[in-house]
Amino acid sequence: MLIFTISSVMLVVGIAMLWNLDVIIACMALGVTLVNIKSRRAPESFNLVQMFYSPVYVLFFVLVGARLNIAHVNLTIGLLVAAYVIGSIVGKTAGAYWGGAYSDSVTTVKKYLGFCLYPQGGIAIGLLIMASSRFEPQIGSLMLLVVIVGAFVLQIIGPIGVKYGAGKSGELGLNITTEDLIKTHTVGSMMDDKPVSIPYNMAVQEILDVFSKTDFLYYPVVDEQKKVTGIITVSGIRELFAYQDVTGWLLACDVAEPVIDKITPEKPLEDAIENMRLYHIDNMAVVAGDDNDELVGILDYRRVNRRISAEVLAKQQEADSM
């Protein structure tokens, strides 16, 4: 797939050069075609390209920067750059407003979309390089100098405009992912702080009664000081049903499984989920501290996923409503 993708780009570039077409527009047309034919392989192709294109992208801007000779910047160039930057800002802001008004868009689009369009980079400079080769060397150099300096200035003020526009429109933080939300939580904010625990000396028959009255699948076994000594799971205790003749005198400490891992409330939720995936467990005991095994809660992987998914859905609905 990687070979096919690179070969396709080279083929399109070669045909464009043979027919004296614009190489950049031709490559953009290739990308548009790949996306819109809705091939199942298109995402794979783009993912493969993204794995190695960063050095090429950086090299492109290094070569562009090499064309900028500060010694050639004079008052005339400065005035042209100022006109270019101001014209770009005014044109994008006014164009976004008029376009939003013409299409009857919401007020936030008309007022703040223009602020998010200031950054200018690869495509504009690439098209400029192609266009400048068709003019006299002196005019081509002047065009490159003005646009490169202007793009440099716009790249600096562009992110400021994007943050201002997105902030004023109230759309910051709405494109949030599950991973983003997980990073904002601690174990304490997502744990069940009222877990059902089982005393270490409780008989098996009483444990089964606890199972029938609760809907948990994981029960920490605690001693007299409420310290975690083991766990009992519904799936683990099922095996005892085959030995009903001995279950009458078994206690929780006899059937409890060892604690694979435990965590404290102040630890990041991301760390807890990583450990749960590592040890292939769905529940984890939450204890008071690293040196204190007193039970303070239970972290349930399924419940955490449901809560995180609900928060993501709420954010998406909020974004859609805007």
Q: Looking at residue 289, which CATH number applies to its domain?
A: 3.10.580.10
* Same domain flag for 48 and 162: yes
Domain that holds residue 88: 2-168
Write 5-11 long-range contacts (CB < 8 A, 24+): 5/45, 5/48, 5/49
- Whether residue 74 has pLDDT greater than 90: no
Q: Supply the mean pLDDT for the chain.
A: 85
Number of domains in the chain: 2
Q: Is residue 88 part of a domain?
A: yes
Long-range contacts (CB closer than 8 Å, 24 or more residues apart) made by 198-202: 198/222, 198/232, 198/252, 199/223, 199/252, 200/229, 200/230, 200/251, 200/252, 200/253, 200/256, 201/251, 201/252, 201/253, 202/251, 202/252
- Residue 174 resides in a domain: no
User: Do 187 and 133 share a structural domain?
Assistant: no
Of 231, 220, 226, 286, the closest CA to residue 258 belongs to: 231
Asked if the structure places residue 218 within a domain, the reply is yes
Provide the pLDDT confidence category of residue 239 given band limits of 50, 70 and 90: low
Residues 158, 150: Cα–Cα separation, whole Å: 11
> Are residues 85 and 196 both part of a single domain?
no
Residues 224 and 299 both lie in one domain: yes
pLDDT higher than 90, residue 13: yes
pTM, whole model, 2 decimals?
Answer: 0.53
Q: Given 168, 196, 212, which residue is the final one in a domain? A: 168
For residue 176, being part of any structural domain is answered with: no
Residue 310 reports pLDDT greater than 60: yes
Indicate if 134 and 217 belong to the same structural domain.
Answer: no
